[in-house]
Structure 1
Amino acid sequence: MFHIWRTFPWWLLVACAVTGWFMVAIVTDEMYAQILATLAKGIRITIFVTVVSFTLASLLGLLLAVCVLSNSVILRQTARFYIEIMRGIPILVLLFYIAFVGAPALVGLINAITTPLGFEEMQTRDLSLMWRAILALTLGYASFIAEVFRAGIQSVDQGQLEAARALGLTPWQRFRLITLPQAIRTILPPLGNDFIALIKDSSLVSVLGVADITQLGKIYASGSFRYFETYNVVAIIYLIMTVGLSLALRGLERRMRADRDRK
């Protein structure tokens, strides 16, 4: 009985109680219901920004990890330079830099390539602030995800790769059939943590005026002066997303550990 008392997830019970109170407040309190309705569009924007940024960052991170582990000195040093520089820049600073420095430079580069070919000249305003924010989050998180992929790839037993090489498998076949399926077990937990962190960092896009949860909450609170109620809803929405994903990630880790133990 004492063991159950010590190991019971009391924090989860409290979190569920707070969530339950939130749901009841929405049903019974018209003001909370109105706040949630106002933030509904922001929830969709937050999810869209997070999913697109994480998908692009994962692809770029995998490419960087492969470059870091390549035999080419140029690829290895270039990828390492990118990773170390990006990891040292705060996400908020990166958002401002990409939005107001990188985006105009990118548009200028595109125009330099496409205008001589007869295409219409692109304006900086044509690149929306939301996509500038997605680009910044992608470039920033790719450096962290690259290290996750690198560690996962290096965790694969080299003896298996040497055996595959002896069997005549190409580098791509070795990566696709041997390295990646085994590395994914090591990669998934920290990759899930990065996804949760990205959900929270997506709130920073509000500084660019992107209509996410935080931005719409700020606008509503400043107009209604209901700061307490509004930011209660904003905080609980983020908690539901992050804690829910965290619990799902823990369940996946336990399942993967159980499958590995059975083998």
Structure 2
Amino acid sequence: MPTSLELIIQSLPFLLTGVLQTLKVTLIAVAIGCILGLFGGMGRLSKNRFLRGLATCYVDFVRGTPLLVQLFIVYFGLPPVIQEFKIFLATSFALGPFTSTSHIPPFVAAVAACSINSGAYVSEIFRAGIQSIEKGQQEAALSLGMTPKQAMRHIILPQAFRRVIPPLGNEFIAMLKDTSLLICIGYAELTRQGQLIIGTTFRPFEIWFAVAFLYLIMTLSISRLVDYTEKRLDTNGNH
């Protein structure tokens, strides 16, 4: 029987494949979430009631429900709806019967659910960042002949981006840890890889400790990178 250290070393290649999958889902989800969040944050501040209401409903629903439930909705709930839609199309337009059952790959479901979830939280981050910019700056931009859109693009958003870097870093770390929930749909991220190794070695303490340590390395690295980026931007801004 290998010692605890030997077992961890032997398991590292398998765990590192899980680390790569965890980082891949997190990077894609937060990147898409930033796009959704920017539009969501702008929608929350819009004077258009419809856009503001739509953005508010999105943010409130996602932030008010667990990510695990959202993941189940995408992975288990959408395939029957898609299948019914296919049947409707086949019946309405005589396209022929659809015999195959709709299925969403775990990776697609993981990215979709995590992106939608991240977008809601990033929406609030961007909204707070935009509102933190003094109103006098927008008024000054308008007095110089800029349109409201130009003032937002050239004056407000560049400053807001600097201010939202720390909370965006926190969102990235939170999403990275939340990817452990993907174990429920069988996606081979870090936690799932640890579970599979335990199923063959029956040594839960060593493996879960190694999994926790790998998560710690990732989160600390990201935290240091965010701190460095923030300091660099502050230095450049002062110059």
- TM-score, normalised via structure 1 length: 0.79
**Equivalent residue number for residue 40 of structure 2:** 64
- 1:255 to 1:110, Cα distance in 2 relative to 1, 3 A: farther
**Helix, strand or coil at the partner of 2:123:** helix
- 1:64 to 1:117, Cα distance in 2 relative to 1, 3 A: farther
- 1:180 to 1:109, Cα distance in 2 relative to 1, 3 A: farther
Quote the offset at 1:58 in angstroms: 0.9
CA distance in 2 between counterparts of 1:167 and 1:50 reads: 42
2:111 aligned with 1:134 = yes
2:55 aligned with 1:79 = yes
2:175 aligned with 1:215 = no
- 1:116 to 1:202, Cα distance in 2 relative to 1, 3 A: farther
**Equivalent residue number for residue 196 of structure 1:** 173
**Equivalent residue number for residue 7 of structure 1:** none
CA distance in 2 between counterparts of 1:103 and 1:168 reads: 52
**Equivalent residue number for residue 157 of structure 1:** 134
Instruction: Identify the range of structure 1 (183-192 vs 100-109) with the bigger mean alpha-carbon deviation.
Output: 100-109
**Equivalent residue number for residue 39 of structure 1:** 15
Number of residue pairs the alignment of both structures matches? 235
Quote the offset at 1:168 in angstroms: 3.4
CA distance in 2 between counterparts of 1:204 and 1:155 reads: 34
- 1:216 to 1:160, Cα distance in 2 relative to 1, 3 A: same
Which residues in structure 2 correspond to 1:19-30 (within 5 Å)?
Answer: 29-30=5-6
- 1:182 to 1:34, Cα distance in 2 relative to 1, 3 A: same
**Equivalent residue number for residue 219 of structure 2:** 242
Quote the offset at 1:112 in angstroms: 6.3
- 1:135 to 1:112, Cα distance in 2 relative to 1, 3 A: farther
**Equivalent residue number for residue 228 of structure 2:** 251
8 Å contact from structure 1 (residues 103, 132) kept in 2: no
Q: Which amino acid aligns with 1:246?
A: S
Give 5+ residue unaligned stretches, structure 2: none
Quote the offset at 1:133 in angstroms: 1.6
- TM-score, normalised via structure 2 length: 0.87
- 1:154 to 1:107, Cα distance in 2 relative to 1, 3 A: farther
CA distance in 2 between counterparts of 1:70 and 1:110 reads: 37
Aligned-pair Cα RMSD in Å = 2.8
**Helix, strand or coil at the partner of 2:164:** helix
CA distance in 2 between counterparts of 1:45 and 1:87 reads: 25
8 Å contact from structure 1 (residues 148, 187) kept in 2: yes
Which residues in structure 2 correspond to 1:152-191 (within 5 Å)?
Answer: 152-191=129-168
Per-residue Cα deviation, 1:191-229 (whole angstroms, up to 9, x for no partner): 110001111001111111001110011011011102122
CA distance in 2 between counterparts of 1:111 and 1:149 reads: 41
2:207 aligned with 1:205 = no
Per-residue Cα deviation, 1:123-152 (whole angstroms, up to 9, x for no partner): 522x20121121111111211110000011
**Helix, strand or coil at the partner of 1:211:** coil
Give 5+ residue unaligned stretches, structure 1: 1-24
**Identical aligned pairs, as a percentage?**
35
Q: Which amino acid aligns with 2:53?
A: Q
